[in-house]
Structure 1
Amino acid sequence: MNKYHILIVDDDLNRCRVLDYRLKKFGYKTTYTTNPKDALEKFKDENIDLVISDIKMQEMSGIELLKKLKEIDPLVNVILITAFGKTQELLLEALRNGAFDFLEKVEDSDYLIEIVERGLKNRDEKLNYLYLKEKVIFEIPSEFIGEDEKIKKILKNINDISKTDSTVLITGESGTGKELIARMIHKNSKRRDNNFVSFNCAALNPNLIESELFGYKKGAFTGAYTNKDGLIKVADMGTLFLDEISEMDISLQAKLLRVLQEREVVPVGSTDPIPVDVRIISATNKNIDDEVKKNNFRLDLFYRLNVIRIDLPPLRERKEDIPKIFDYYVDFYSKKMGKVIKRIDPSVYDLLKDYSWPGNVRELMNIVERIIVIKDNSEIKKSDIPQLSILKVQQTSKGFTPQKIDDVEKKLIEDTLKFYNYDKKQASIALGINISTLYRKIKDYRIEES
């Protein structure tokens, strides 16, 4: 007798019996019911390894049942069956709610057993790492020091997220630590001994991204003198981190979707797929939900990538953590540069907490490093952070005029540029705008180096 126990749920008694017979023929222990509510009770009371459920039932739909099963056991794999064929709408809704796969032809015994075996294997892989739940210990990066409840919850969940192979979508502003979270997940997963490959989807044009991610065959294009593995293949058995995923060209989104669906990659210039086993973690600083609504990002790919969602809060929402993070980097950089900082004026902390931090922790790091570089005494004062000084413009009863707002923005840009010695890249990060936008504003406001 096979060690696995499978629960079958279908309001068609004959189909239940057919599935029951075929699964028992291959040695599986089975339980079946025509009542979804009864199925939930059986699932609670018995040690069920896999659930096969009809998607269309009278008392409760298969997707509703799926949601309730996942509430009881998030690791359970549920296969949904349908006699009327799967539509894209059904597929997307099922995947969004955690369905493992679809089964269209219950009369095909070979396919039935194939998909059941895959579901059970996936379940075993997840269970094999449950023992890590309380034992995995990782060093908390400095970016996440503090008592913010959102950050503490994210860090607490990383253990559970690391145990699965589910895709993860990390959202948050630039500088909030998205790649750090991705690396933490990889480091604490079963894939930790294999490659962690990071790629920025906004860094290259679509043609170059395609060859970089998917690889290419010799002669595929001018300059392709040899075969080259793409980054997806390089990350085989490991983790691929796709930063700025919302910037990926729509045509490449279709190719990435195939990788997720088929677990294979086709290099440029080839028709032969190469099997890959890679976990994909993606990130974006845009509102990706809006990008989907605008048809800039494929809905089906979004659902595939958005199985687990992590939303990182900006630093301005973690005001009480800012002094601790600031102190950490003061200590770090002063030791690194052989300097001694004996005192930080309390007013500095008030200034730090009042600032909006458009560049988030990355901006804070840059500011502290610069302070320590130029310090020639042992005390940090407000005057050491000029670009954080609050620009106080008295608001009249009539409010701001456009000219006054322009003046405020111009002054802020000028102060930030001066602080960074007119390093426009650093200034754009600090201001939270693209470098091209900064160049345009410098031109519009006729700002010159002084």
Structure 2
Amino acid sequence: MRVGLSSRRGLWAAVALLLFIASACASDPDTPPLAAAGDEDSAEADEAVIAEQPTATPDPTPTPRAVVDLASLPAAADDASFPEGVNPDYPVGAYGFTRYVWTSGSAGVLPTLVEGPRGQQYRCQDLDLPCSYNELKALHESGDPIPPELGMTDAELAELVDQLDTVRATVESMASPDDVCAAGYSRSSSQNPNMGIHMVNAALIGDGFDPAHPEILLLAHEGGEALLQSEIGECVDGSWTGDPAFEVVGAAFMLPMTPEHPEGFAGPIDNWHVHYNTCTGANSESGNLGDPAKCAAEGGRFMEVLPVWMMHAYTNPDYDSQEGVFAMFNGAIWPLSDGGSIQTERTEADFNGSRLQTIVNFEIGTVTARPGEQIVFSNGDSVPHTVTSSEPDAPGAFDTGVLGGGQTWAGTFDTPGEYQVFCSLHPQMTGTVIVEE
């Protein structure tokens, strides 16, 4: 799906009035989606030799080889768009972890999220890396070498920490929900899992990127439990009417949608996102309504695209996000999650009896299935990948063929065992398929 930039700009003024993010950032499908990809880096490889797509792999006969022109694969026209002509039958991608997300809903499988620039991204979400605000600040103060996975220089880290300190100062200046209301913010979301509630200041929308003046503040309930919308409260005449036990834990930023990924914080680890097919202002606890009729019935306004780039920044030290300072989801916010469990829950899923496995930022990962259970591989990156047996002549060998943006491959494994796989286009990418009773 692609929306012309002229119409995007026209929608920008509307966004300031109807926001949002209640449903948009909340997009938390009952079935976590999986990955999708395909684009500009494909020009680096003119062609690749791949196998035709199999349907099952107990003891397959080697399939004929074919030449595929990678440049012919579907590609996104710009950073804010989905690959043209890709309509997957399965959910594809994972909110907060992959570049593209297609979500399954009452209206079918729809494109719902684009996140980060095209190509390989720097996603500082590994629990073993210094990715949270506290950890980045400590790394800067220590003078230790910066891990290469962060992709930044000492100067960029220093600037980033200074920017995050500015966000923290704004967060700490709001000691209560009353302070947030008095500063011109109003509630625009329900209590979203691992995010809290969103409070938007419409007067700040469209004034550019300023760490000291975030368009959105994120508040979490101090008790850690969930509340119904009716129990949360509202800003009325600059005062908070509801439960006072909310604390500002971070901020979110909004910039007008442009073709290219925005320049915001220093360094490359701030991956901004754009929401598609979302319902704003709905009277629904889930807020995840991809159907225009259902959205209207819930009192919301359906938008094919919210014409803004958005991103979270968790800077309250007491709610330090081990998933990364710019993560979409924070395990320190209700529902409290152990390290790594959020990514596992959102990147591993089942759909209509199939086991879904996503390729996440040049990582195939490990998938476990039962004999005969269908496995669906989907490409969550913006460049083509394959999932290919490391031992092509061994029993159970297979090759998905080249998977471009949003493309999937489905097959079954009838023989228990452990199968090593890799990407023939990017051999450093490896993974494992485990088939067990």
Q: Please confirm whether the aligned pair reaches a TM-score higher than 0.5, indicating the same fold.
A: no
User: So what's the TM-score if we normalise by structure 2?
Assistant: 0.20
Larger radius of gyration: 1
More strand by share: 2
User: So what's the TM-score if we normalise by structure 1?
Assistant: 0.20
More helix by share: 1
